[in-house]
Structure 1
Amino acid sequence: MSAPSTVRRSQGREPMGRMPRGRRLAAVGAALAAVLVLSGCVPSFLEQKPPVSTPTGEEVSPELEPFYTQVLEWEPCGDGMGCTTAKAPLDWNDPSAGEIDLAVVRHVASGDKIGSLLVNPGGPGGSGYDFVLDSLDYAVGEPLQERFDVVGFDPRGVGRSSAVACYDAAEMDDYLYGIVPAERGSDEWIEAVGSSAADFGAACADNTGELLPNVDTESAARDMDLLRAILGDEQLNYLGFSYGTFLGASYAELYPDKVGRLVLDGAIDPSASDFEVSKAQSVGFERALDAYLEDCLATEGCPFDGTVDESRDEIGRLLASVDQSPLRGSDGRMVGADTLLTAIIYPLYSADSWPYLSDMLEATMFGDADPALAFADGYNGRNPDGTYLDNSTEAFRAINCLDYTYQSDVAVMREKAEAIAEAAPTIGPYMGYGDLSCVNWPYQSDRERAEIHAEGAAPIMVVGTTGDPATPYEWAVALADQLESGVLVSYEGEGHTAYNKSNSCVNGAVEGYLIEGTVPASDPEC
């Protein structure tokens, strides 16, 4: 639950909020051509202590002992950080079946060290390695940098770790931006979208091999326990955003006695089905669109006039128009409704990007497809030269297809799509049919979504933003209620996730817990 579940070649949205490019929201500037990446200036604390990490030496089963006793050797990287590679079992159910690589980066505590703090930016598919290496100040505040070794890692299947691989850049372009020449929801459209998804899955199986069925979130949570132990920490301290909250909650369910101080910001409801997630996200982004329009209509230069309802209807007509008659960009790629929706959703993650959304919508209304393509490219991680930044699209699909169950009944798909469209009349018509993404995936999941209680765990802080479009506030309430030791911190505001932005109340609650180990006696309602 990073950025929203992204449209994959005119097909329904998949569950989970994905945080684009590791919480760094890109916006297109005055020319609507250059992507602005939010990144922090990393302090230069040279890695001198220690060159190796000492494992905890805890007792584990004989087949896991080689993994839990490995010694990490750190090499200088970035601006005064250390990088290394850890080994994890390919299959946690059969540790002798092989091993995979986990890429890890660490910024050593600048002051009195409490321990390690693992961070995950969201996804699934977001790079925690890049999150820390490139954007340390955006990932965590200075108080946490002082007291913790801040550790970023790429989960299995992602980025620099043993990774999912599927398509080359040209194939990815066709997959993400291609147009299905059939009426949305028709038998012909469903057949084409399903076939495209099956082809993508087959390519992932061919190019990824035996890793592909082992990139589920539960396996990634077990990897985190391994990292905890070989970093030398008796308990896990963790800060997870968006999908990272599901990863953290899954860890707490597996290892409640190893839970140290966990903060889950922009929470996922682990009991929600793929349909419930798609519906909730549709409503969330529709609400965010209304908030944007209310602000826009009060601002000089807004491309809309009239009421919020009238303006939202105009955007709905624009989406329907490009769905029937896509616009051609200067590079030949087409902007249909799915690409335009991605371009609309992307800047809705942060109110700071709303002015750029106005520029993009105005340009699209005048027939200029390039700004919408620039926004969609920013979300999809596509560079101006046509290459892709990372494998987040492939990892996103592979992990989600293992974390949920999907069904192939077209009649049921249509019922779900109608319900989503009814709940969110502007956004919803393009958020249905998510089952098509994974129903023909090479490895089928039998995992049923269920509540997570983590009985016996230390307090777990859950942060929810009332206007969060990708991970609606209701999910934070649900997760905090499910967790036996859940503590809710609410932030009344707009945007995806709340920590380390501009709210001192949220920052104080999060940092106070991670550093001092104290949680608020009641929801501070920041």
Structure 2
Amino acid sequence: MHIRPSPRTLRTRGTRARTTARLTATLLTTAALLVSACSSGSSTTSSAGGTVQAALAALPRATPSALTPYYGQRLSWRDCGVTGFQCATMKAPLDYARPDAGSVRLAVARKKATGKAKPLGSLLVNPGGPGGSAVGYLQQYAGIGYPAQVRARYDMVAMDPRGVARSEPVQCLDGRQMDAYTQTDLTPDDQRERDALVAADRMFAESCGTRSARLLRHVSTVEAARDMDILRAALGDRRLNYVGASYGTFLGATYAGLFPRRVGRMVLDGAMDPTVDARRLNLDQTAGFETAFQAFAKDCVRHSDCPLGRRGTTPARVGANLNAFFRKLDGHPVPAGDADGRKLGESLATTGVIAAMYDEGSWEQLREALTSAMRKNDGAGLLSLADSYYERDANGHYSNLMMANAAVNCLDLPPAFSGPEDVEKALPAFEKASPVFGAGLAWASLNCAYWPVRATGEPHRIEARGAAPIVVVGTVRDPATPYRWARSLAGQLSSSRLLTYDGDGHTAYGRGSACIDTAIDTYLLRGTPPAPGKRCS
């Protein structure tokens, strides 16, 4: 199971700002629930023969004495080179089971409340991933793009989770190796291509194990959530106020499960479902991308420049036309004007299309990119979309997004598949879920099978009994975090309020719905959650 953070585009007052979050090595967005020593254990069997999953157990309210040095630390804030923002470094134990066995250094940033009224405390934000830089997100969007009234009352705060970006990043492949890895054929046609795919996944996993051996066992979501509680204490806040998107919802829900009495105002937007296993997560997300593609297909054929069909062409035929284009690229990649000589093949083209599924505002760009590739033999537009998804810059340098993403996901849940034979058996289900993306997403779910560190987590419910009201937000046609996940998480959390956005794209807050934004802003500023069953469009 892999999941890239969502390449969503947030909109505010008609402007658009690209976030740094994108989804992982599967082309999917998923969240894994890690329970390890903080959980009551594995599932039990009911008398009816079904499986009843245990809930994530809350930690003791009293801070263990061994953690006192961490909880008592004072952050030394400094100017971090971005106007209005301050940065600091926080320490957390590498291993919470052995707090005296070394620490990790975590990057923190903040922007102080801008208003004159009494501040409401800190508001921690996380854009998702796992692997998206929260510090980058704060500096590039949240700290300047969140509603002015929210920024006036809260110190806006972000922390890169352990293993991510500025927080002792997981390292695996260099830029050239990543170029090769991202071009690996994810729809193998014969044994030679299957062997090449397995070899690429093994090489990726082994390089992570070699270059990041110290960290690799300690980048779980539970550990990241426990780090957030140390940050809460270091900030001087009695409760944690939090807005998390995509994987950030799983991180926030995990915090609530571990520290229910310390939950303040919490928004979980684009929610993950911690009760499902890795294969089901990937299958659900495959269906989510198909739902988004169907919406794109209907929109595309309304435009005269749609290269996949004309007005009246069915979404099924649009999908068949796109698959035919992918098959053509499989054997004959097209030039892309790339300085490093890369061409647009099937894998990168598929990634480019998936990247545009996160935000309906990108559909026009996708039409133009497909037109150039299909009619003009120019793959530059789709390659640009794929590079944005992978966070590759013009110099061939990648952020550690995909590496951190795999490291967290492969630790949080047992792998979706144990080997290529498992994938082949599951292909019909994935292709039924999405005739366009199913095969590629099934094969992309293989990489955790070769991970050098054994998974420590498993599917569990998160109830967070005793927590203050938590707002769970779900978008009906969200490609990366299907709406059913939001309903499931809201059904687990004992104090949840489900807020529904009947729209397209990944997540809802700050993406153009005044109804959604007003409901969330009211909750953050006044503590009043949305009315039960509230639905926006």
TM-score range, shorter chain: 0.7 to 0.9
Q: Which residue of 2 aligns with 1:297?
A: 301
- In 1, distance between residues paired with 2:371 and 2:102? 53
SS at match of 2:107: strand
Deviation of 1:256 after TM superposition, in Å, equals 0.9
Q: Do residues 522 (structure 1) and 532 (structure 2) align?
A: yes
Which position in structure 2 is the counterpart of 1:412?
A: 422
Structure 1 residue 504 corresponds to structure 2 residue 491? no
Residue deviations 1:182-231, cap 9 Å, x none?
x7164433332222222112211222231111011111000001101111
d(CA) in 2 for partners of 1:39 and 1:274? Answer: 26
- 2:280 alignment partner, one of 276, 297, 307: 276
Native 8 Å contact 1:271 1:450 kept in 2: yes
Question: 2:360 maps to which residue?
Answer: 351
Work out whether residues 105 and 153 of structure 1, in 8 Å CA contact, stay in contact via their aligned partners in 2: yes
Q: Match of 1:132, as an amino acid?
A: L
> How big is each residue's C-alpha offset from its partner over 1:211-257, in whole Å with a ceiling of 9 and x where there is no partner?
11101111100000110111101111100000000000111111111
Taking the aligned partners of 1:324 and 1:107, their CA distance within structure 2 comes to 50
Change (3 A) 1:302 1:189: closer
**Residue 394 (structure 2) pairs with residue 384 (structure 1):** yes
Q: Is the 8 A contact 2:305 2:371 kept in 1?
A: no
SS state at 2:192 partner: helix
Query: Are residues 1:128 and 2:115 paired?
Result: no
2:69 aligned residue = 66
Mapped partners of 2:365, 2:163: distance in 1:
33
Report the counterpart of residue 442 of structure 2 in structure 1.
Answer: 432
1-structure distance, mates of 2:175, 2:125: 29
> Aligned match of 2:253 in 249, 255, 269?
249
**Partners of 2:336 and 2:343 within 8 A in 1:** yes
Offset, 1:130: 0.5
1:488 to 498, 504, 508: 498
In structure 2, what residue type is equivalent to 1:242? S
Q: Which of 358, 366, 371 is matched with 2:381 structurally?
A: 371
Q: Which moved more, 1:377-386 or 1:406-415?
A: 406-415
What one-letter code is carried by the residue in structure 2 that aligns with 1:325?
H
> Which deviations, in whole Å up to 9, do the C-alpha atoms of 1:298-338 show, x marking residues without a partner?
22322221333222211121122222433343332233322
Question: In 2, distance between residues paired with 1:17 and 1:171?
Answer: 18
Please name the residue that 1:308 is paired with.
315
Q: Which residue of 2 aligns with 1:341?
A: 350
Give the CA deviation at 1:394: 0.8
Q: Which residue does 1:453 correspond to in 2?
A: 463
Q: Distance in 2 between matches of 1:322 and 1:106?
A: 45
| Aligned position for 2:159 | 153
Which whole-Å CA distance do the structure 2 matches of 1:138 and 1:15 have between them? 31
Cα deviation code 1:482-525 (max 9, x no counterpart): 11111100011111111012211111111111221111231220
> What code does the residue aligned with 1:201 have?
A
CA contact (8 A) 2:366 2:382 kept: no
AA aligned opposite 1:278: N
In structure 1, give the amino acid aligned to 2:325: L
Partner of 2:103: 99
Residue in 2 that maps onto 1:326:
333
**Partner SS for 2:217:** helix
- SS across alignment from 1:100: strand
Match of 1:203 in 2: 207
CA contact (8 A) 1:110 1:145 kept: yes
SS of the aligned residue for 1:349 comes to coil
For 2:95, the aligned partner's letter is: D
Residue 463 of structure 1, CA deviation: 0.4
Contact residue 489 and residue 525 of structure 1 kept, 8 A: yes
Q: Which moved more, 1:321-330 or 1:431-440?
A: 321-330
Matched, 1:76 2:76: no
Task: Report how many aligned residue pairs link the two structures.
Answer: 482
| Amino acid across the alignment from 1:316 | N
Amino acid at match of 1:313: A
The C-alpha deviation readout for 1:72-113, integer Å capped at 9, x for no partner, is 011123111211010111111111110111101101111220
| Structure 2 partner of 1:54 | none
Distance in 1 of aligned mates of 2:189 and 2:368: 31
After superposing the two structures, state which structure 1 stretch, 285-294 or 221-230, moved more: 285-294
Distance in 2 separating the partners of 1:320 and 1:279: 22
CA contact (8 A) 1:88 1:226 kept: yes
Is the alpha carbon distance of 1:334 and 1:146 closer, same or farther for their aligned partners in structure 2, counting shifts above 3 Å? same
Deviations 1:457-497 (A, max 9, x none): 11111001111111111111111011111110001111111
Displacement of 1:374 in angstroms is 1.3
1:456, distance to aligned residue in structure 2 (A): 1.7
Q: Secondary structure at the match of 1:106?
A: strand
Counterpart amino acid of residue 150 in structure 1 = M
SS at 1:426 equivalent:
coil
Task: Find the aligned partners of 2:438 and 2:463 in 1 and give their Cα distance.
Answer: 31
Mapped contact 1:120–1:128 kept (Cα < 8 A): yes
Letter in 1 for 2:76: E
> For 1:214, what is the secondary structure of its paired residue?
coil
Cα offset, 1:436, TM superposition: 2.3
Q: CA deviation at 1:293?
A: 1.8
Cα deviation, residue 59, structure 1? 5.6
Q: Deviations over 1:362-410 (max 9, x none)?
A: 122133222221111111111122122x211111111111011024254
User: What secondary structure, in the 3-state scheme, does the structure 2 residue paired with 1:439 have?
Assistant: helix
Taking structure 1 as the reference length, the TM-score comes to 0.87
Q: Which residue of the partner structure matches residue 51 of structure 1? A: none
CA distance in 2 between partners of 1:522 and 1:256 (Å) = 21
Which digits, 9 at most, give the CA deviation of each residue in 1:154-178, with x for residues without a partner? Answer: 0000011111011211111111124
| TM-aligned CA deviation for residue 24 of structure 1 | 4.4
Please, what is the CA RMSD of the aligned residues?
2.1
Change (3 A) 1:404 1:251: same
User: Any conservation in 1 of the 2:275–2:459 contact (CA below 8 Å)?
Assistant: yes
Quick check: 202-211 or 402-411, which moved more?
Answer: 402-411
